[in-house]
A and B are shown apart, each in its own frame.
Chain A
Amino acid sequence: METTLYLVRLGEISLKKMNRDFFERKLKENIKYKLRPYKNFFKKQKGRLFIEVESSTPEEQVYQALSTTFGVVGFSKASTCAKDMDEIRKVAREISSRASFLTGAKTFKVETVRADKKFPLDSYGISGELGHEILVSQPELRVDVHHPDRILHVEIRDKAYLYASPEPGPGGLPVGTAGRGMLMLSGGIDSPVAGYRMAKRGLRQEAVYFHAYPYTSDEAKEKVITLAKLLSPYCSGLTLHVVPFTDVQLHIKTHSHEEENTLMMRACMMRIANMLAVQRNCLAVITGESLSQVASQTLESLAFTNSISDLPVFRPLIGMDKNEIVETSRMIGTYETSILPYEDCCTIFSPKHPLVRPDKELLTKAYREMGIEHLLEQAVGQTEIFVL
């Protein structure tokens, strides 16, 4: 079977000591999961992962898999040859004559890592010789060691590995190395970004969405399913729980003061997220809240909703501005879906003047007096599950 070699550069994982194997194994599992329709073989070397994929695998598929897998710092299609300078020169000539290397490039440099210290030439010598070789075969190129347009990387290990300017990976830690969390996913811009941020720190996640038909449309639900699908590659798979929330919202509307409606709704969502988290072995709840963005995200409001949760609540966007969140949302490809005009909360449940600085004690008392727990349990029991 003919294979194509891809070299993956690892970042933070390389710094791990005793449990590096665990992180590398998770990373391998995550990449293997994404490449599962195709045959592939993995080989580990310090700070590097070499993946041989059957040659019929579409290149875009591999790029898509590696560019969305946390733990990958950079990757590139690589060539390999024997540790012999003539062979290495030949491969260097071949790579530097490719259109992908030459298009738009005026300058280059060669960077060598000589992991095998027995190799006769030192890294400086190898770079110099190969630089000369490329200058001869591609006379229009110039060397610029400070700001080159292209870099030819050479690594002398068990064999010689050569690859050109690698694609950047997403960095972070492999999903699944930091336990499980329950993401509160709405149809907005923020919560998918929160999910992305936590996945980047290795958290495996499941997501929960609260659907209040007919007060919110089925299009709003479809929108959240689409968002979950877009987020799924970064999370190495995502299970979405759609909780029917209409009865809960109506109970809140009819049993609480109007200005408290939103906070009571947030409290109920937090309770349900906790219940589902326990069912699904999750140890934390994740939200897309950002300090003072809206009335339910002031410090006082967050203190109240936080007190409803038994589990730690992660708010990775708490200190981010909206434009920073939007930037990430565009980068991960969820923005265009998030801004579709299907609201996930009906105006009927949005008070004109919501509480901004609630008294935690008073509100907790009011929450208990609503007698809503049985409805929350009922809603959890009717949850619809989508494995994406």
Chain B
Amino acid sequence: MIPYYFDWAATTPMSERALDTYASSVRTYRGNPSALHKEGKDAAKFLSLQRETTGRLLGVSPKQIVYTAGATEGNGIVLQSLLWLRSPASVLMSAIEHDSVINYQRLLAQHGCTVHTVKAPQGYLDLQQFEQSLQSDTRMVCVMLVNNVLGTVQDIAHIAKIVRTHQKQHGRPIHIHVDAVQSIGKIPLELGSLDIDSATFSAHKFQGPKGVGILYLKHHAKIAPLSKGGGQEMGIRAGTENIGAIAAMNTALQETLDTMETSLERGIGLRRRFERSIAPHGDLLELMSPGIDSGSAITPYILALCVKGLPSEVFTRVMYDNGFCISSGSACSNNAPGKGEGVFAGASFSPEKASSAIRISFGPQTTESNIDDLAQTLVQEAKKMSSLTRRR
């Protein structure tokens, strides 16, 4: 592992145990789970056991688990299902959603759907505006559980309550979709107790392999598949199942949940240590995420900082030259113009702050000395860079 890897929200290193599971399961189960011969049946049985494991670990029924290629695909499956509705729907989403949700706005609008976005000042959904934005024809609500850039956690239980009350008044079901990709291991999660209809996860965010994920679906009825074919994954996601990756994902999930209590505690300590180290340098670095002791709902593992007066991309390069992997906004949108600045606009930060924002994210393997080195280098480089451009 790179010693100064602070981009865990983009992706995590795959755990050794997950790697072992991957290797052993692909060696053992070589058949296609849809095949009729013994090799196929063994694979199907193994897959069924894996689904039970996933269900057990997430506290939901195995029948509610659909394996996908990741949260982006899962979000796509849920959102494009709206295109098949007979009458155009109205969709409500938070303004700080990931691009894999936000970027459906145009497609949905082209098909007659109305998409409303609700601001999330400082990373928290404006619940009053949210409630007012619910329409009589609202059919879907999309809210991210843990924000991938700010680390803020939405009160999904409360949001669901608002939606269900509205639903009762208007008599039309509203699908609540939660992008929960950053939640595993970062906050305690009881998926089954949340009154939501779907949620998405990616294995590579919790030390599992890339290219595999979970779509939790409470009921399958209103969901249309993106890919059609062999009818795998209860007809929601056709294509031969990636058995090795699914098994490895479960190993990583088990490992993450088993150690979460202690690692979260450690994470809070590391975050506090980091915040204290940079606090005296407020003229250079400003915390954009809520502080760990602010009482706000956050995960300790993700935070956004503003490096005053310096474009985030430039500072990210400088930090990399010093051996630190950090991110300017969200890695998934780093290939597109704007580069994740949309989240900051959605969270009501000024364009100046947004263009100078960097994201620091760490994980259970990050040490105190890593955090100290990071804080020290951030301060040192921010100081150096700002003096270089100061007029003489």
Contacts and interface: CB of A to CB of B under 8 A. Distances in A.
Tell me whether A and B are bound partners. yes
Interface of A: 213-215, 217, 250, 253-255, 258, 341, 346-348
A347 B355 contact: yes
A341 B333 CA distance: 12
Interface in B188-216: none
Contacts of B155: none
B113 to A, nearest CB: 29
Nearest to A253: B389
Contacts of B311: 215, 346-348
Place the interface of chain B in its size category. Answer: 10 to 19
A214 B389 contact: no
Minimum-distance CB pairs A-B, first 5: A214-B317, A341-B337, A254-B392, A214-B318, A253-B389
Contacts of A346: 311, 314
B336 A254 contact: no
B313 A217 contact: yes
Contacts of B337: 341
A47 B49 CA distance: 80
A255 B390 CA distance: 9
A246 to B, nearest CB: 9
Interface string B35-65: 0000000000000000000000000000000
A253 B321 CA distance: 23
Interface string B312-325: 01100110010000
Contact of B390 (A213, A254, A341): A254
Interface of B: 309-311, 313-314, 317-318, 321, 336-337, 355, 388-392
B330 to A, nearest CB: 15
B380 to A, nearest CB: 15
Contacts of A253: 389, 391
A255 B388 contact: no
B388 A250 contact: yes
B389 A254 contact: yes
Contact of A348 (B318, B336, B389): B389
A216 B152 CA distance: 31
A223 to B, nearest CB: 13
Given A254-B391, A348-B309, A348-B310, 11 more contacts: A213-B317, A214-B314, A214-B317, A214-B318, A215-B311, A253-B389, A254-B389, A254-B390, A254-B392, A255-B392, A347-B311
Nearest to B391: A254
A65 B390 CA distance: 51
Nearest to B309: A348
8 contacts: A214-B317, A214-B318, A215-B314, A250-B389, A254-B388, A258-B391, A346-B311, A348-B311
A53 B388 CA distance: 59
A341 B314 contact: no
A169 B231 CA distance: 55
Contacts of A217: 313, 317
Interface centre among A213, A214, A346, A348 (most CB of B within 10 A): A214
Nearest to B319: A214
A346 B355 CA distance: 12
B316 to A, nearest CB: 9
Contacts of A215: 311, 314
A348 B315 CA distance: 12
A261 to B, nearest CB: 10
Contacts of A258: 391
A254 B317 CA distance: 22
Nearest to A214: B317
Contacts of B389: 250, 253-254, 348
A57 to B, nearest CB: 39
A319 to B, nearest CB: 30
A375 to B, nearest CB: 14
B37 to A, nearest CB: 48
Contacts of B317: 213-214, 217
Contacts of A254: 388-392
B317 to A, nearest CB: 4
A348 B392 contact: no
Contacts of B336: 341
Contacts of A213: 317
A341 B391 CA distance: 29
A54 to B, nearest CB: 44
A74 B79 CA distance: 54
B334 to A, nearest CB: 10
Nearest to A213: B317
A348 B318 CA distance: 15
Contacts of B392: 254-255
A347 B336 CA distance: 17
A254 B390 CA distance: 6
A213 B313 CA distance: 11
A248 to B, nearest CB: 13
